[in-house]
Structure 1
Amino acid sequence: MSAQPLLSRLTRRGRLMAKRSCDRRGHAFAHGRFLFRTPTAWEYAAAVAGGSDPAAQRWLGWLPGSVVAEPMRAEAMRVVPGTGPEWTTPDPHSVDVVAIDLAAGRCAGLVSVHAGEDGGPETGGYLAPGYRGRGFGRELFAAGLVLAHGHLGLARVRAGAEVGNVASGRSLAAAGLRRVSGPPRYTLPDGRVCQAWWFQHDVPWPDRCEGPPASWLG
């Protein structure tokens, strides 16, 4: 292998790792411990792997084809942030950013703003094993609010949590969302119907960034 392709990849990685602002190709912002950024294809694979373990799937309920099984799960989670080709979201109704732990050099989770069952904007996310139970859920959901209010121009965003998912409910409240009324049930991707808690956050003056807009928001 010639030195030039290697240099090109290292330069690209350095540029991605240093990216801290939004442009037409993606969103990027720092919040708390993490850098939140539109992922590369490999970063997205690492983030999906981080939510594919049984403990996470107890609450996420993805379709079987979306869950990464071992040993591919462990391999994907070893992805070095800043590597991989550009990624195109498979869901046009969701804006996803991966949480990157720069100090550890790994992908720590994912948070999104997406269209809810009623078409209104919702935020949600998850953390990889090793980042759960350490108070990082607050940072994750607060980043979802930053994305919604400061980047996508949304004055209001909601979030749902399954009744009984106390850790998620506490993290949403700690991030500043308040409990509100809502549909008593919602359906997970795998078809499981759950009882729901609902949370909401409002700001009077939302803003849009230089990043790509969410086409489904109009």
Structure 2
Amino acid sequence: MPPWTLESLGTCAPGRHALATPRLFLRTATLADALPLVAAGSDPEAQRGLGWPAREVVPAWRRRHALRWRMAMRPFSDGAPAIPLPNLFVALDRERPRLAGALGVSPTGEDVGLAGGWLAPAYREGDLFGELVDAWRELAHRHLGLLEVRSAVALENAEGAEAVRHAGFAAGESEDLTLEDGRTVSVVWYVSSVTSPVQCAAGRGPEWKGTSPWTTGALRPAQASRGGGARH
């Protein structure tokens, strides 16, 4: 039996979001998660789509160590709440305490946000990215209470486009997007909107006005639709 059952994963509470999918458990990220969270997207394959500045990319020797960390099921440390990372979420493997990926939802208005995420290298095979995209939409509309959430997908990325369409995003305008590492990619913006959003017990929290780091960019082709993400 997996070590983390639905009963043990917990539910949303002030300062903590929690969401279970068939293979993942998502919760609010904390400062203790920062290194593995960034390490999961720092390899060259993921960076083709994420485009972080060099100072944020974790070197290979440190990535290997960080991605072997045992992740905490709940965002607590020594019985006390850990320091949250605003609007960032970790996706944990429900079969073992390892980081499978991460996502962020950044505010652009009172009821509007931008979503993006990435998978760790060991989790990029198969269709797990689609499950992560489903979680973006669920968190945005049924936890944060947003009316609209947007995500950028590289124009040539058929797999990434299929994943966001399957999750309920509709294609919008296209543009050339400059990533933080200076590269420019052609993207299509995908939009998900609802008329009756819901806020969970955690709500948006006082950090909602702050822009989440690591959540700008564009989904790249097949290799990045499994592991790279969308930074906006």
Q: Is the 8 A contact 1:163 1:197 kept in 2?
A: yes
Per the alignment, residue 158 of structure 1 pairs with 150
Q: Is the 8 A contact 2:145 2:197 kept in 1?
A: yes
Q: How many residues align?
A: 196
Per the alignment, residue 129 of structure 2 pairs with 137
Per the alignment, residue 168 of structure 1 pairs with 160
Q: Higher helix proportion, which one?
A: 1
Per the alignment, residue 207 of structure 1 pairs with 198
Instruction: For 1:18 and 1:78, locate their aligned partners in 2 and report how far apart those are by CA, in whole Å.
Output: 22
Q: Which runs of no fewer than 5 residues in structure 2 stay unpaired?
A: 211-232
Q: CA deviation at 1:188?
A: 1.4
Letter in 2 for 1:160: A
Q: CA deviation at 1:120?
A: 4.6
Instruction: For 1:140 and 1:80, locate their aligned partners in 2 and report how far apart those are by CA, in whole Å.
Output: 20
Q: CA deviation at 1:60?
A: 0.3
SS class of match (1:39): strand
Q: CA deviation at 1:25?
A: 2.2
> Residues 133 and 170 (structure 1 numbering): CA distance in 2 closer, same or farther, change over 3 Å?
farther
Instruction: For 1:190 and 1:48, locate their aligned partners in 2 and report how far apart those are by CA, in whole Å.
Output: 15
Per the alignment, residue 36 of structure 1 pairs with 26
Per the alignment, residue 218 of structure 2 pairs with none
> Residues 116 and 204 (structure 1 numbering): CA distance in 2 closer, same or farther, change over 3 Å?
closer
Instruction: For 1:166 and 1:189, locate their aligned partners in 2 and report how far apart those are by CA, in whole Å.
Output: 23
Q: Is the 8 A contact 1:35 1:101 kept in 2?
A: yes
Letter in 2 for 1:167: E
Spell out, residue by residue over 1:128-186, the C-alpha distance to the aligned partner (whole angstroms, 9 max, x if none): 1121131011110110001100011111111101222333222212222121224x122
Q: Is the 8 A contact 2:112 2:147 kept in 1?
A: no
User: TM-score w.r.t. structure 2 length?
Assistant: 0.76
Q: CA deviation at 1:103?
A: 0.4
Q: CA deviation at 1:205?
A: 0.8
Q: Does 1:179 align with 2:171?
A: yes
Per the alignment, residue 70 of structure 2 pairs with 80
Q: Which has the higher contact order (CA 8 A, sep 6+)?
A: 2
Per the alignment, residue 149 of structure 1 pairs with 141
Per the alignment, residue 106 of structure 1 pairs with 98
Q: Could you say what the CA RMSD is over the residues aligned between the two structures, in angstroms?
A: 2.4
Q: Does 1:198 align with 2:189?
A: yes
Instruction: For 2:31 and 2:61, locate their aligned partners in 1 and report how far apart those are by CA, in whole Å.
Output: 19
Letter in 2 for 1:59: G
SS class of match (1:38): strand
SS class of match (2:36): helix
Q: Does 1:65 align with 2:55?
A: yes
Spell out, residue by residue over 1:178-211, the C-alpha distance to the aligned partner (whole angstroms, 9 max, x if none): 21224x1222122322211111111221001121
Instruction: For 2:148 and 2:180, locate their aligned partners in 1 and report how far apart those are by CA, in whole Å.
Output: 24
The runs of at least 4 aligned residues of structure 1 exceeding 3 Å deviation read: none
Higher CA-based Rg: 1
User: TM-score w.r.t. structure 1 length?
Assistant: 0.81
SS class of match (1:185): strand
Instruction: For 1:19 and 1:32, locate their aligned partners in 2 and report how far apart those are by CA, in whole Å.
Output: 13
